[in-house]
Amino acid sequence: MTTVAAYAATAADSPLVKTTIERRELGPLDVLIEIRYAGICHSDIHTARNEWGGTRYPVVPGHEIVGVVSAVGSDVTRHAVGDRVGVGCFVDSCLECEACTSGDEQYCTERVTGTYNAVGRDGEVTQGGYSTHIVVTEHFVLKIPDGLALDAAAPLLCAGITLYSPLRHWGAGPGRKVAVIGMGGLGHVGVKIAAAMGAEVTVLGHSLAKREDGLRFGAVDYRATTDPQTFVDLRDTFDLIVNTVSVNLDMDAYLSLLARNGTLVELGLPEHPLTLRAFSLARNRRSLAGSMVGGIPQTQEMLDFCAEHGIGAEIEVVPADRIDEAYDRVVASDVRYRFVIDATTI
């Protein structure tokens, strides 16, 4: 085992503290990564503060990890020392079920192993990217293309693939009208990706406060959902709507915005069950679906796409001793649009 520095949550109501954790020795198929940046995802906050329950303390959050390979196991063929690499939301799966062999490791029937707060095959609790180093099996390590800055690439390992996957699956592209509900840490990346895919993008925001940003990111329209006229003007309009917010919305109102055969994809995880009228789906043969991140092949595809189109997250880099401040600002929606931790300060 190798001892490395990290920042960990020790209780739901306590600040994160600097500590040390043990990383496993390099196995034949393992990659040792010197972490340069780790994005702050709202999931990190939910876990650190036990808002979803089931947090195994102490926990080192972080599943938007980028860095440089510093050592590889004897059988590693995909990565070499000095490579720019990333690690996303999971670090293991069975690799044998139909989902895994199809490149959908995130839906592994044996249950995918999360990058943190999960129990690995060795029985140890996984610890994430708020750390100086991490050891990951080569299959779950992504290449960061040279066209992407490491700091702006970090949030793509979660926010980027969370949006890219449904946009790709449900066919965002030329001739398609796509709406993004919410333009925060997830939504702003979705606007950029959908626009780069060639779709006609509309942002549905709570207010018009971010309208200028939305148009700069590639949207052709930006509407306030607090204005009832929005739902009149845009009725039966969109082929695809992706919902990035984690609050309970009036599903019937948003479903009414779908054109014939349109789909609304839920990405946010609201506190309460969704409620809707069956007629909202029956009319126009609409669909309601869900999605979660993407598999390893698609995540690499997303990174390559973003590099080709110059897409990165809009970020504010913070030192490790300001993680708790960043958490509070995320909860207060006081960031445009993602925080990234400078792991060299850990």
Give pLDDT tens digits along the chain (346 positions).
799 999 999 999 999 999 999 999 999 999 999 999 999 999 999 999 999 999 999 999 999 999 999 999 999 999 999 999 999 999 999 999 999 999 999 999 998 999 999 999 889 999 999 999 999 999 999 999 999 999 999 999 999 999 999 999 999 999 999 999 999 999 999 999 999 999 999 999 999 999 999 999 999 999 999 999 999 999 999 999 999 998 999 999 999 999 999 999 999 888 899 999 999 999 999 999 999 999 999 999 999 999 999 999 999 999 999 999 999 999 999 999 999 999 999 9
State which of 290, 313, 331 marks the end of a domain: 290
Whether 148 and 166 map to the same domain: the answer is no
User: What residue numbers bound the domain in which 166 lies?
Assistant: 160-290
The CATH number of the domain where 126 resides is what? 3.90.180.10
* The token pair that represents 99 in the structure block: 């989902």
d(CA 180, CA 187): 6
Model pLDDT, residue 226: 96
Whether 265 and 325 map to the same domain: the answer is no
Q: Is the dihedral of CA 117, 85, 7, 19 positive or negative?
A: positive
Per DSSP, the residues of 88-111 read -SEEE--S-SHHHHTT-GGG-TT-
Element (H, E) at 159: helix 159-169
Model pLDDT, residue 1: 74
Model pLDDT, residue 269: 86
Contact 102, 294 (CB under 8 A): no
Per DSSP, the residues of 318-335 read EEGGGHHHHHHHHHTT-S
State which of 275, 290, 305 marks the end of a domain: 290
Q: How many domains does the chain have?
A: 2
Whether 81 and 34 map to the same domain: the answer is yes
Whether 29 and 132 map to the same domain: the answer is yes
Whether 311 and 222 map to the same domain: the answer is no
Model pLDDT, residue 33: 98
d(CA 128, CA 154): 13
Whether 106 and 122 map to the same domain: the answer is yes
Whether 53 and 152 map to the same domain: the answer is yes
Tell me the pLDDT tens digit for each residue of 69-113. 999 999 999 999 999 999 999 999 999 999 999 999 999 999 899
Whether 120 and 254 map to the same domain: the answer is no
Whether 232 and 339 map to the same domain: the answer is no
State which of 290, 317, 334 marks the end of a domain: 290
Whether 167 and 151 map to the same domain: the answer is no
Whether 299 and 284 map to the same domain: the answer is no
Question: Tokens 């249950």 — which residue?
Answer: 111
Whether 141 and 234 map to the same domain: the answer is no
Q: What is the pTM for the complete model shown?
A: 0.95
The CATH number of the domain where 253 resides is what? 3.40.50.720
CB under 8 Å to 328, separation ≥6 — which residues?
Answer: none
CA-based nearest residue to 237, from 209, 204, 221, 260 = 260
